Structure 1
Amino acid sequence: MASPTRIALLHTGAVVISPVMELVKQELPDATPINYLDDRIVADLGDAAVAPSVPTRVGELAKAAVEAGASAILLTCSSISELAAPTSADVGVPILRIDEAMADEAVATGSRITVIATLPTTSAPTTRLIRERAALAGREPEIRSVVVEGAFAAVSSGDRPEHDRLVVAAIEAAAAESDVIVLAQASMASAASAVDVDVPVLTSLKSGVKRLRELVEGLPTAAG
């Protein structure tokens, strides 16, 4: 009898592990997920002395996942999403960015896209990802970015209500000038359900895990 497919989830913050695991269990109930966490990566990306170590650290986590039998890897942090392709080439298994599906949906939804993030280290990679996916789709959307000051510190200290309040305010302010709003970090998903605006507000968790399911279903081991 074949063993369940193993998938690895690479995180840069503990706050996202629980919601991602819940969705993985829904979308991939027969898979065995393995979590890997380096909770200093986001902070270190802002430190010129330490930032060069991040690609190597992500690579080591990916190698550990492959050694543990993972046949696919999901990067749950947008700040490191640009490492997906080079790391995949190094370790020999597909690596998916959790925000790729969200970026595709944003490009298909409208020409005025606002990216809202709580960290500048996430805002820039998400904007580049949307431009990349737009180019593949033959589109040239207008993209602007907003960084919500204080929200990341709030959620990091356990104050989810304050985080959501700040993010909701940013969404409401951006809605009038946007066709679609993108929340750059998986940890921001809770704010989407607390806001009522006339434009779509996209988050990466559900669409990202669904695309992971599609990837896993296409793997030779998943096919039997």
Structure 2
Amino acid sequence: MTGPRIAFLHTGAVVIAPVMDLARELLPDATAINYLDDKIVADLADPARAASVPDRVAGLVEAARTAGADVVMLTCSSISHLAAPTGDRVGVPVLRIDEAMADQAVGLGGRIAVLATLPTTCAPTTALIRERAEAAGAAPTITSEVIDGAFAAVAGGDRATHDRLVGAAIERVAAEADVVVLAQASMAGAAEAVQVGVPVLTSLAPGIGRLREVVAGVRP
């Protein structure tokens, strides 16, 4: 029997390499297919184009299904709310890479601080944590912040400034939180450079770990 085929739908190229590294580590028998629409995040902020995003996501998931994917994972928090409706629409399981991270955050304490570099990612991540908290019967206090200037820096190729701004924000909010959640996978590198007294969560490792569990159930 051949290994599972899994598809990843990305909104930024920067996340493809780390996702592939983890997929090779945790799902060594799987064949991975990557799909990229690097205008989705920008278009979500444009009222004239935002309405096109659900159909574009569904089109990419349909392409993955046609290519034989057993499971599709959305790697961007900005579109994670589309996972369930798109899966129902296309007829293939569609997972959110940040759901496992949200579950971890809910289990770690009553004060959760969410950091993002884009408003289009901050709001969906906060909403996801609230959803998972409600499912777990918890009622944490959730604060959120968009780090000014960080996205512009990395978009302009200045990763060092991005990491410095994100690192400073982590250190600041950690003083009044039980856990810090980084809403974008692209922020993970900045977290490695700081030491704080609370967990700092990113989506990639727990997300791919959950994908492995789902794949095992889909293909026994």
Same fold (TM over 0.5): yes
Q: Distance in 1 between matches of 2:156 and 2:198?
A: 30
Look up the SS of the partner of 2:123 in the other structure: helix
The correspondence of residues 107-186 of structure 1 with structure 2, limited to 5 A, is 107-186=106-185
Matched, 1:38 2:37: yes
Q: Deviations along 1:56-112, whole A, 9 cap, x unmatched?
A: 000000000000000100100000000000000011111110000000000000100
Q: How many residues align?
A: 220
Q: Distance in 2 between matches of 1:207 and 1:192?
A: 16
The superposition leaves residues 33-73 of structure 1 with CA deviations (integer Å, 9 ceiling, x where unpaired) of: 00000000000000000000000000000000000000100
RMSD of the TM alignment (CA)? Answer: 0.7
| Equivalent runs, 1:41-120 vs 2, <5 Å | 41-120=40-119
Shift in Å at residue 181 of structure 1? Answer: 0.4
| CA distance in 1 between partners of 2:59 and 2:71 (Å) | 15
- Aligned AA (2:45): G
- Name 2:203's counterpart in structure 1: 204
**Structure 1 unaligned runs (5+)?**
none
Amino acid aligned to 1:18: A
Tell me, what secondary structure is at the counterpart of 1:3?
A: coil
Residue 19 of structure 1 deviates from its aligned partner by: 0.5
Distance 1:36 1:68 in 2: 11
Rounded Cα–Cα distance in structure 2 between residues aligned with 1:168 and 1:108: 23
Q: Which residue of structure 2 aligns with residue 4 of structure 1?
A: 3
The Cα of 1:4 is off from its aligned counterpart by: 2.1
TM-score when scaled to structure 1? 0.97
Q: Secondary structure at the match of 1:104?
A: helix
Return the TM-score normalized by structure 2: 0.98
| 1:177 match: secondary structure | coil
Provide the rounded CA distance (Å) in 1 between the counterparts of 2:116 and 2:125. Answer: 9
- Report SS of the residue matched to 2:70: strand
CA apart distance, 1:159: 1.9
Structure 1 runs (4+) deviating above 6 angstroms are none
CA deviation digits over 1:89-145, x for unaligned, max 9?
A: 011111110000000000000100000000000000000000000001000000010
Show the counterpart of 2:12.
Answer: 13
SS, match of residue 114 in structure 1: strand
Q: Percent same amino acid at aligned positions? A: 67
Which amino acid in structure 2 is aligned with residue 97 of structure 1? Answer: R
